[in-house]
A and B are shown apart, each in its own frame.
Chain A
């Protein structure tokens, strides 16, 4: 009986869809329905509170005349200080009066080049927010331990208990097991990096939130921190293994030198790309799945789009849950790989010359 209903339902949908296709073809072009997937991942000069509106962020522009500060893009365009939207310049006509920005890219009206755009973007905003949340949680928490709560007595309250679990996990399972004896020096860095990345990732799951780790500049800076940290504390053996690999014949040493040098730089590069690609792809995937509704609307008509939308919404929910999982996993992976690289660099080998 249920099967019969299901078949009838499908047949009706397909029949209705055929009717609507004829209408759809005339008034909709595929170009109009196009969703800019990559554009959703790029950073913007405003916080998007759709459908409520946008909050524009301050613009800082550096050019030949020095630094220019504006409280928003709209203010920059209407300030009569020689700035306009790049889209107006491209179209050739600069509108007068109070105008709203279109592309949010600023350009000089006299044609001189903008040397540097130091504007605050939404990725940077959430980057700072994550930093403040990290500090706001852990500075009071460390004060508690300084008073002795948690060290001489039991940790107090769910909050402290929750974060103590994480901190001990990172100290024991990540720092101690991968770095070895010298783990105490590196645990603060690993803890900071873990919670900072975790909060940045989790902001991407909140409504109107953006995960700043979906920006390659953020992950590149984080990977550079790990890189410099690793090199700064590297042992003599680490450098010896790169420039003059011990225990192998001399010709092999010259072959191993470029290999080890490349390996030195692929480590931070892969850290950076891994985190960025994971977070950005999750975002693109959600938009792509929701976009299927509109693609179906364009291809088969509104009825099929409505009829199948539950499927795409269910899939989006699934991807969202995966993203929540990935947010933790990627923070963990970044931290454990940082610990691994640091551990490899600070380790002191006690090998004899003929051991290899």
Chain B
């Protein structure tokens, strides 16, 4: 498949990218609009010596990929809103036990079973706060089929680098979109594998972090005794109720992501230099935003677009830097307004921030963003 151009679905590109990343294990419970991921994974994984497991539900699916990762595999699952809700508890386990894995949510309209075949981006705050407890999380969102391929590789890389679950927040407009996609080979992309403990240690402490705040991860059943713990634990992986140890652990889990933000945050800008207005979008809404910016240009307006490829951790400092000299900001989202809250927190109060929102199951259109832009112009 080297460098081959395929005319494929975003969902299919996700699987091909995962395979290039070295993923060998998928467990899932197919659900619209993510089903093509399970379908293709079931066909492709056995071809590369990997495993596809059809599970009884999403709780079992996330549990299985956590187990596979502990056993040494790069593992992933795919779902949509209802399944994503079911997975939250075990995503918390992966955060606490520091288990790298990738969870794909091809978002659809909710709440509950909602509009099963229709797109939304309304799980983006759930991605941030779906688990209980203080923690940071990484969420990545593609806007093209090519990005489904390229960014899933990035998602595996950051999961492996920071020993954490990574949420891949696609949506039905991108998952069910077919476009030309260059299917790069392993030699053409950077692949990162988890840090292993050095051989010959007298004793291996599974949660003793290096300077980068990430502990090397031994495979269960390998040379070293390894522990994976969901309760507060010390460096040895033994349970603890010491306030100091509990605090150090929570702080380290948070800092290993937040202090490495510069390496985790990926974004793209379009015509932002010298622009008067800024559109900030992620995922499928980026396509409408870029078209709206082009339409605005024809009206003589200077409008730039910031695409957040990494949504969490949110790049508040960068958003502030970019927005501070603008006359206004519009945040297009296929929800009632979720990321707009983060944007409002980030930009100076004097700059108007207006949402362009759609939550009826239909994709956000450029003219709706233009309407929001007109609202900013009238302020």
Does B bind A? no
Give the interface of B toward A (CB within 8 A): none
